[in-house]
Structure 1
Amino acid sequence: MQQDAMGGAPEDLSHAGSVVDKAIEYMMEQHIDPISIASALLGGALGLLARTMDDRAVAAVLRNALASVESGELAEARQPPPAQA
């Protein structure tokens, strides 16, 4: 995994995110229930993490995700965008 010069996100993260977004869009167009889509993506992500990281690293990723939920970061994503004047 290659990180940017500041040690941040891998340079291919944007590309991977775009691919996932397109896959989600496709599944929504196929009228697949959102919980099924999310469960399949989460299961696939956990499987990938399990194949590429030890258990402690996987647990750290999951703790980071939980912290994002508990801090309200996901709630912000549910807010409608502000109206343009």
Structure 2
Amino acid sequence: MSEKLQEIIDFFEQAEGWSKDEIIADYIAEIEDLRGYEPDEIGLQWDDDNVLMVLSDFAEIFFNKTIDGVCNVLKSFKENEKE
């Protein structure tokens, strides 16, 4: 099982065979309320304060954090197998 877990971790970390940018663009395109706008044209706002980034930047940062989190969970399973 460790080899398979490592293959999955490598798949996510090395991003071979898939494009992060395409996945993010596809997910954003599926959000109906955003149709007609480009992700780099949409600013973010918290209460009355404008956040100094656009949706595309936020989506990329969030995607990277999510992938890191998934890989950390997989690595913990891999470490538990050794015990």
TM-score (norm 2): 0.29
Structure possessing the higher radius of gyration over alpha carbons = 2
TM-score by length of 1: 0.29
Which structure is higher in RCO with an 8 Å CA cutoff and minimum separation 6?
A: 2
| Higher normalized strand content (fraction of residues) | 2
